[in-house]
Amino acid sequence: MVTTLLVVVIVLAIAFDYINGFHDAANSIATIVSTKVLSPFQAVLWAALFNFAAYFYFTDHKVANTIAKTVVENFITLEVILAGLIAAIMWNLFTWWFGIPSSSSHTLIGGFAGAGMAKAASLGVNVMTAINLAPILKVVAFIVLAPVIGMAISMIISIIILHISKNARPSVAEKWFKRLQLVSSAALSFTHGGNDAQKVMGIIYVAMVASNVLTTGDPMPEWIPISCYAAIALGTMSGGWKIVKTMGSKITKVNAFEGVAAESAGAVTLGITEHFGIPVSTTHTITGSIVGVGLLKRVSAVRWGVTVSLLWAWVLTIPVSATLAAIIFSFIHLFF
């Protein structure tokens, strides 16, 4: 039965995807804007197009399944999902306002898990019984692994490209790198859409199961992925200019060649993790890739002060979101 609360949860979930789009727009367009291959307006249109195009390719929904299993089914209610979504939206807006490229993925997972644990506490049972540790530990591990993998791949790609183009005239090479950056940026936006849209798909699916509209194991209604991919694409079109500045120039200065390497590394990393159903942070991945191309020049090319401040945001996102969601659930629980 479709209830008012279910409708509210679905609307908030799609709103989160929209916010995820403009919060993470910087991941897809920062380097291509900073190298002036595209204008900001052209870049967000380009990224949004490939965000949505991912709908036609990523049909296995492995990441969505991982998100859906974060909280044990017995503890999933609409109130739990609502609290998790509100907490995730609040943290996303907070970090966006201050230009901090935090992870939309991790704030959603943290919010969902925190609300589930608060539900267990309200029933007087061990809060740890409310969460499935295996998918959460996998996500936590990739807070470190995703940027490291992105960094390593970007350095390898940079070395390969430098070797191939070592005899090319600088002006000719620059022209080709700018063309290639259109491809690498499209690939990053494509895998970003495939990875991030699925997270909200999993949340909407479990909300419908909790409302008995669907039963566990039912196929996902087609309107869910279409809505999520459309929302993240529209959000990307809205941009996230404060974070673009951080990603595009504050970590390290990048040229077109380095942009190709960083974006290609980010796309490869996201493609691999999506294949294995691991909901990683696009933000962490592309940051690691940008650091990788900076390190290849010299260690001092990376602004480590900025990078360390980003690491603090990454570490805090899950626990802060979980705590916030638990508080919100406790408040909601008074009325339902």
pLDDT for the residue 101: 65
| Nearest alpha-carbon partner for 71 in 127, 10, 8 | 127
Q: Which band of pLDDT confidence, cut at 50, 70 and 90, is reported for residue 142?
A: confident
pLDDT for the residue 85: 93
**pLDDT at 141 > cutoff 50:** yes
**pLDDT at 120 > cutoff 90:** yes
- Inter-helix orientation angle 223-238/4-34, to 10°: 40
Number of domains in the chain: 1
Average pLDDT over every residue of 143-160 = 85
pLDDT for the residue 249: 45
295 close to 155: Cβ distance less than 8 angstroms? yes
**pLDDT at 1 > cutoff 60:** no
d(CA 323, CA 319): 6
Model pLDDT for residues 4-58, shown as the tens digit of each residue: 899 999 999 999 988 888 777 666 676 677 777 777 778 888 888 999 999 998 8
Output the six-digit token pair for 31: 């380097």
pLDDT for the residue 231: 92
Output the six-digit token pair for 229: 């991919």
Could you list the residue range(s) of the whole structural domain that residue 126 is in? 4-332
Model pLDDT for residues 48-89, shown as the tens digit of each residue: 899 999 999 888 777 777 777 888 888 988 999 999 999 999
| Nearest alpha-carbon partner for 72 in 191, 193, 209, 252 | 209
pLDDT for the residue 304: 47
**pLDDT at 250 > cutoff 50:** no
3 state SS of 134: helix
55 close to 192: Cβ distance less than 8 angstroms? no
| Nearest alpha-carbon partner for 35 in 165, 174, 145 | 174
**Most confident stretch, 134-148, 165-179, 183-197, 223-237:** 223-237
Average pLDDT over every residue of 232-244 = 70
